[in-house]
Structure 1
Amino acid sequence: MTLSAERPKLTLLLAAPRGFCAGVDRAVRIVEEALARHGAPVYVRHEIVHNRQVVESLRGKGAVFVAELDEVPDDGRPVVFSAHGVAKSVVSEALRRRFFTLDATCPLVTKVHREVERHHARGRHLLLIGHSGHPEVIGTMGQLSPEAVTLVEDVAGARSVQPPAGVPLAWSSQTTLSVDDTAEIVAVLTERFPGLIGPAKEDICYATSNRQAAVKTIVARGAELVVVVGAPNSSNSRRLAEVAERAGARRAVLVQRGADLDLSLVEGCRTVGLTAGASAPEALVQEVIAHLGGYFELAIEELRVADETVEFRLPPALARDLPSALDRRTLAAD
């Protein structure tokens, strides 16, 4: 797309809430505070959150990201578990090797971990709704023995799953799923298994629900194209794109930063929506706005569906007065 002397007008609807959630903010703060307290290196098992710019920013400050604990030397350096949570076997290995660990698991994921343990203690087989291979799902399934939990990925899986006969059943879910998709899966499971026990409070986190509701709002207000800022391996970001298209957007695209947006997709649109996954910093949203502003005369309107005031405490080993989550959501994206 070439820049003309007279820029076409474009209405840009900003979804709110968008971007960093409390769990992501806490996880990033844990790594940064560990580096400030103990210096580099600080080892982090897996990406602390699913965002390349956040990971690279922390790597530049001295974080070392590893796939598994066998890559961590026995040198007494801090080891951080990612926001997605880990299986009990990972915790056991860290204890065996006497690592100094800092658990950055989102407290809402930890809630699910405790929930599935309670179901198991009461003799129930767990049906876990989630995506195979996702770190959060691996961590949640890893709270129980393999025979105690069955993964259900979609409606088709709900219709075909065959849990152990004669055993009470319960369900839990990954925290970053589509609210609507999960409701459909639960409806099928409930119809097939009338005694199925669900969580006291839904497992999909408040931030995921709020961001999906905000996307539906900008589509209802006329967004023909919805741009989602987020990583391709971010479950909540991918769900936002799916929700936008299901809500009626002509198209939804996932971009990691401003330069990734193909402006030819915007040509012919009068109204574009913009949001960001829960692990994408606001600086990347501003990149997209600047990219669009170089070619279009923007009329920007923010549509807010909820105010988020949740903040999670740091682990006791790191707790002290630090900037609030709201002050930190413009994390440098370079």
Structure 2
Amino acid sequence: MSESRPIKPPLTLYLAAPRGFCAGVDRAVQIVELALQKWGAPVYVRHEIVHNRFVVDGLREKGAVFVDELDEVPDDRPVIFSAHGVPKSVPAEARARNMVFVDATCPLVSKVHVEAERHHADGLQMVMVGHAGHPEVLGTMGQLPAGEVILVETVEDVGRVTPRDPQRLAWITQTTLSVDDTAEIVAALQARFPAIVGPAKDDICYATTNRQAAVKAIAPKIDALLVIGAPNSSNSRRLVEVGRSAGCAYAQLVMRAADIDWRALEGIRSVGVTAGASAPEVLVDEVIAAFAGRYDLTVELVETARERVEFKVPRILREPAPG
């Protein structure tokens, strides 16, 4: 007589779409892989190419060496700048040392850099909405001379801004912020500085916007939300915040399936799963498999947009190696 298996409780898993890799992350990872193919190992990368340990460890195994600063890179090896962008001083140093370098800055971040430079050329001082210390913020602020970019993180910060000339201001934003929070901060800037100039819409990228919209769509259906992503990933942390703001009593960031707190999920009937823009789909599959092992699982896709954005890799990687 065969042993009866315990009956698994039913669970519906609502899978958000879009989720996971965006075009900028996909391009950055490709850049490292193509550089390794072209020049062989080691290829150096200044900072994490994207904020995901699984991705970084995978590239490290293939021969990428991650460093904090250029002085850790030998002159005769190629170096790649991360997707978050770098201050102008970094490529300037690389050129001074005659290094081969490849800039993997996301084109949507580069667009903000160009915007900042254009406003600066017009004599405007910049107010940037972003998170202090984030590599993208450091890179964007580093496009202009010191003092030309004032950083604000909250509506309260707006009240403390002391510009050189309140009539000569422009605003820009980090690309991975909460859409709703940023709208509040921009409204506060416009109320305090009516002459402030800004982009036609904020600089938050399509992928961040789409992933947040998908979380809002699944939030009313679920008892818990899991966001797959890294603790240092701005866009992943914003997805957790968006889930909580949309009514998810339990919304947590997990790097992978091993990080799931199953005791906290006891008794749930539905769960939402999404992934930040630097989390690969293999980690989503791993989480779904973990739920399937514990529950009688039904997976429902909730798709709020389709993304067809692709960015070309830099020309230097499309050309054959000399010799």
TM-score range, shorter chain: over 0.9
- Give, in whole Å, the separation in 2 of the partners of 1:254 and 1:293: 19
Structure 2 equivalent of residue 173 of structure 1: 173
TM-superposed CA distance for 1:202, in Å, is 2.4
Find the aligned partners of 1:166 and 1:199 in 2 and give their Cα distance.
18
Aligned to 2:297: 298
Alignment match, 1:276? 275
Deviation at 1:91, TM superposition (A): 1.1
Aligned equivalent of 2:79: 79
Match of 2:314 in 1: 315
Aligned to 1:234: 233
- Give 1:200 shift: 2.8
Aligned partners of 2:131 and 2:98: how far apart in 1?
32
* Amino acid corresponding to residue 29 of structure 1 in structure 2: Q
1:158 corresponding residue in structure 2 = 158
Residue 36 of structure 1 aligns with which residue? 37
The CA deviation at 1:8 is: 0.5
Whether 1:88 and 2:88 are equivalent positions in the alignment is: yes
Give unpaired runs (5+ residues) of structure 1.
321-334
* Structure 1 outlier segments of 4+, above 3 Å: none
Kindly report which structure 2 residues correspond to 1:14-29, keeping only aligned pairs within 5 A, or say none: 14-29=15-30
Other structure's SS at 2:302 match: strand
Counterpart position of 1:327: none
Equivalent residue of 2:151, what SS?
Answer: strand
RMSD of aligned Cα (Å): 1.2
Counterpart of 1:87, as a letter, is P
Q: How many residues align?
A: 316
Counterparts of 1:130 and 1:51, CA distance in 2: 20
Q: Secondary structure at the match of 1:294?
A: helix
Q: C-alpha distance in 2, partners of 1:10/1:200?
A: 43
Kept in 2, the 8 Å contact 1:81–1:102? The answer is yes
Given the alignment of the two structures, is residue 128 of structure 1 paired with residue 128 of structure 2, yes or no?
Answer: yes
Amino acid of the structure 2 residue aligned with 1:250: A
TM-score by length of 2: 0.96
- CA–CA separation in structure 2 for the residues paired with 1:295 and 1:159: 50
Cα shift at 1:78? 1.1
Q: 2-side partners of 1:269 and 1:186: how far apart?
A: 38
Once the two structures are TM-superposed, the CA of residue 108 in structure 1 deviates from its matched residue by: 0.2
Structure 2 alignment gaps of length 5 or more: none
1:186 counterpart residue number? 186
Q: Distance in 2 between matches of 1:36 and 1:89?
A: 28
Give the TM-score, by structure 1 length. Answer: 0.93
What is the SS of the residue equivalent to 2:315? coil
| Cα deviation code 1:294-321 (max 9, x no counterpart) | 111111100000000000001001127x
Alignment match, 1:331? none
- 1:323 counterpart residue number: none
Is this contact kept in 2: 1:123–1:167, CA < 8 A?
no
Once the two structures are aligned, what percentage of the paired residues are identical? 63
| SS at 1:43 equivalent | strand
Asked if structure 2 preserves the Cα contact closer than 8 Å seen for 1:313 and 1:319, the reply is: no
Asked if 2 retains the 8 angstrom alpha-carbon contact of 1:231 and 1:237, the reply is yes
> Could you tell me how far apart the structure 2 residues matched to 1:31 and 1:187 are?
39
Q: Secondary structure at the match of 1:318?
A: helix
Q: Secondary structure at the match of 1:147?
A: coil
Offset of residue 165 of structure 1: 3.2
CA contact (8 A) 2:11 2:298 kept: yes
List per-residue Cα deviations over 1:207-241 (Å, max 9, x = no partner).
Answer: 00000000000102x11210000000000000000
Secondary structure in structure 2 of the residue aligned to 1:280: coil
SS in 2 for 1:126: strand
Aligned partner of residue 150 in structure 2, secondary structure: strand
Give 3-state SS (helix, strand or coil) of 2:80's partner.
strand
**Aligned-partner residue type, residue 104 of structure 2:** A
Which residue number in structure 2 is paired with residue 53 of structure 1?
Answer: 54
Q: Is the partner of 1:86 in helix, strand or coil? A: coil
- The 3-state SS of whatever aligns with 2:318 is coil
Does the 8 A contact of 1:107 with 1:312 survive in 2? yes
The residue that corresponds to 2:112 in the other structure is 112
The 2-side partners of 1:167 and 1:193 are apart by 7
Q: Distance in 1 between matches of 2:201 and 2:217?
A: 24
Is the partner of 2:113 in helix, strand or coil? helix
Deviation per residue, 1:81-125 (Å, 9 max, x gap): 000000001111111111100010000000000000000000111
Give the letter for the 1:49 counterpart.
Answer: V
**Cα offset for 1:178?**
0.2
* 1:285 maps to amino acid: V
2:243 counterpart residue number = 244
Task: Say whether the 8 Å CA contact 1:28–1:48 is kept in structure 2.
Answer: yes
Q: Give the match's secondary structure for 2:294.
A: coil
Q: Which has the higher mean CA deviation after the structures are superposed, 96-105 or 164-173? A: 164-173
Deviation of 1:166 after TM superposition, in Å, equals 4.9
Task: Report the CA distance shift for 1:161/1:72 in structure 2 as closer, same or farther (over 3 A).
Answer: same
Q: Which residue of 2 aligns with 1:329?
A: none
